[in-house]
Each structure stands twice: as C-alpha cells, then as structure tokens.
Amino acid sequence: MKLTDNVVRNFRVAKIFRENTDRINSIDFSSNGETLISSSDDDSIVIYDCINGTPKKTLNSKKYGVDLICYTHAVNTALHSSTKVDGIVVTLNMSPVNDSFLSGSLDKTIRIWDLRSQNCQGLMHLPGRPVAAFDPEGLIFAAGINSECVKLYDLRSFDRGPFANFKLTQDKDCDWTGMKFSPDGKLILISTNGQIVRLIDAFQGNPLQTFMGIANNKGIGLEASFSPDSQFVFSGSTDGRIHCWNTDTGCKVAVLNCDHPGPVQCVQFDPKYMMLATSCTNMRRVVKFYHHRHGHESVYCST
C-alpha cells in the first residue's frame, strides 16, 4: 500500500502501552521495523514487538539512567546516553552503515565514536549547543549550531572543516532541538522547542518549508520525523495531537486527534511497516501505535 494523504488521514490508534512510571524520553524503530525500543526517566528500557503489538522485554539502567536511545545498525544492539553523570548529551546519532556514531553535548562539542573502542575518534569544538545527524549513506553528517547555521562534514575528513555552510534566519522564539536527514537524503528536518518545524534542501541549504500550527506552550523539544518515502513529516504537540505535512507542498495533510492526555514528545514512523509510534509526557506515560484503518480492521501494511 502506498502512503497517500488519504491514508495518513485514516491512521487510528491501534495499541496503547503503559509500561513506565515516568516520562518516556525517546523511542526508536529497528532497521527491519519489527521492534520499537523506548527509554524512560524511570531508568528503564522497554522493547516492543511491532508484529504482534506486545511488550517484549524490559531492561533497567538504574546506575546510569537512560536517554536518547537508538538502535545501532544491528537489530539486537542499542545505544543510549546517561542521565546521571557529568556532561549532558543532547544529541546522539548512529551511523546507518557501520559502527560510528555521533554525540553532541552541552559542553559545545560534537564527538565521533566507534562502538568497538572506548576512546573518542574525533572531537569538534563549536560556538554553541549542537544538534547533529548522519545522512542515509553514512558518508557525511550535518551539525546545527546556535539555531542558525547548518554545516556539512565529510566523515573521512571532518578535521578539515565543513565542505558546506548554510546560514539560516535565526528563530527568535525557539531553539533547534533535533535534526534528521530524509530517507532519500535530499532534505534536512530541523525540530525546535517552539511552534515550528523547518525543512531545508540538503544540498544547497535553501529553506523549503516552515511547518507551523503546532501547539507548544511549554518550550518542550518536540520530535518530528519523516515517513519512509520522505513525502510526509509528522510532529508531536503539547495539545496531545499529531500534525502531518506534505514535504513537497508544505500543506498540512492531517491533524490526528489521538487522545494523548499530555504533550506528545516522541514521534516516529516504522521504516518497513505502515505504522506510527508516539509517546507523551504526562503522568500516564503511554506509548501508542497507529495503523492505517482499512474498513473496520487495523492492518499491518508493508510500504
């Protein structure tokens, strides 16, 4: 089934999970789309079976805490940041092709790591708080700096400086909190802690779309994510709804009234199945799975 405007409008809540006792701070789908992993402020990690729609396993990280959880390129390995040691990590991104990953910290640095070594493989000092992301081929990465500049680096020669520098109009009312390349590598999505999401061209840095109309009266960093075909962007909001836009036209396609009782901070689309997952930050700490509703049945559809 192809993802279209009408299909998006017909997404409905299919599963609701309440496995946590505190805020769910991040979620991530495995590359094969069969599992979802979540991390929570209660220091727990929960793995969900996306095929059967059931919780699969719960792990605890009481000593270090857990945030920014993400799968590595292997579906049985995940990476996360700590919440209980010095040096707060604000961005964590795994290479889609090998054991490299990026971390960005409030100490205004981006570090390049390799899963096979405890030593940092590269260090970049920046003038402000960073956000960062690998492109889909794992050859370059983008760094967003001071909520006004995007720099592109070749992973093999990052120490020579960026090969592209895109200066954008600084948002006066919000800061950048996240960055993602589209699955086709042509677009860069910039999430904020305000009421907008920005979309720029990944090659020239030209501003393409500014997605607006998100409720965010709490200054929360709300996650925005692409659909697997790069045609749509989904974002959470503090009013408990999911907003969706078309990346080509910039038009809002749908607002999903999904009855989240609190701010929706995490939103991701399954890379292989027609399924959306969200989590909210209220006291019920819920994870919700959405499927396209065909007739009267919720069905899994391969994209």
pTM of this structure: 0.91
pLDDT digits (tens, 9 = 90+) for 118-157: 999 999 999 888 999 999 999 999 999 999 999 999 999 9
pLDDT of residue 301: 26
Q: Report yes or no: 184 and 193 within 8 Å, Cβ to Cβ.
A: no
Task: State the pLDDT at residue 281.
Answer: 66
Q: 195-202 — which CB contacts under 8 Å span 24+ positions?
A: 196/171, 197/224, 197/233, 197/235, 197/245, 198/168, 198/171, 199/233, 199/247, 199/250, 200/150, 200/166, 200/168, 202/135, 202/142
**What pLDDT does residue 286 have?**
62
Cβ pair 288, 9 in contact under 8 A? no
Instruction: Give the model's pLDDT for residue 250.
Output: 96
Give the residue ranges of the chain where pLDDT is below 50.
Answer: 283-284, 294-303
- 207 closest CA partner among 230, 222, 190: 190
**Per-residue pLDDT, 165:** 96
Residue 281, both tokens? 């930050």
* CA dist list (Å): 225 to 56, 153, 181, 283: 24, 22, 9, 24
Q: Looking at residue 95, what is its pLDDT?
A: 95
Q: Are strands 122-125 and 275-280 parallel, antiparallel or unpaired?
A: unpaired
Structure tokens at 183: 């699955």
Q: 1-18+173-303 belongs to which CATH class?
A: mainly beta
How far from 21 is each of 18, 40, 285, CA to CA, in Å? 8, 8, 7
| CA–CA dist 24, 33 (Å, integer) | 20
Find the DSSP H helices in the chain.
5-9
**Rounded distance, CA 20 to CA 244, Å?**
27
HSE (side-chain half, CA atoms, 13 Å) at 31: 15
Are the beta carbons of 62 and 42 closer than 8 angstroms? no
